[in-house]
Amino acid sequence: MPSCFRELVVWRKAFQLATECHQIAAAMPSHPSLAPQLMRAASSVPANIAEGNGRIHRAEYRRFRSIALGSVNEVESHLLLAEALGHPDRARLRQCVALSREVGRMLGGLIRALRTNPRDGR
């Protein structure tokens, strides 16, 4: 298990997702209430992965991964709403949705592994 959250592939992908979402939100002036919700949810994903990595107890570690997974789902929902509302860069939205799904799959796998592998030291 990497000792630094920045070494985690899932954190790197989540950070990329957050960066993309912030850039997408910047192009949403006609939807002022959706942009901050998207940015908050997207920022929450890598932040919760990082915080969970700093926890000692297995249950806390798993809990923060679960919170991150919930935020990924929220991000995807906001992206789909932005597309439905006519965001001008549909291709970028679709790429971001694909990235959110990839991060979600990675987090789901980590959560399952934490439930079944008692040797992870937490």
pLDDT tens digits, one per residue of 58-102: 899 999 999 999 999 999 999 999 999 988 899 999 999 999 999
The CATH number assigned to the domain with range 8-120 reads: 1.20.1440.60
- Round to whole Å and give the CA distance between 72 and 63: 14
Residue with tokens 């954190």: 11
Amino acid at 86: G
Whether 121 has a pLDDT exceeding 50, the answer reads no
Residue found by looking up tokens 């906001």 in the block: 78
**What pLDDT, on the 0 to 100 scale, is given for residue 114?**
84
* Rg value, the chain, Cα: 15
Interatomic CA distance for residues 99 and 26, integer angstroms: 18
Contact 82, 24 (CB under 8 A): yes
CB-facing half-sphere around the CA of 7: CA atoms within 13 A? 6
Name the percent of the chain lying above pLDDT 90: 79
Q: Please give the mean pLDDT across all residues of the chain.
A: 92
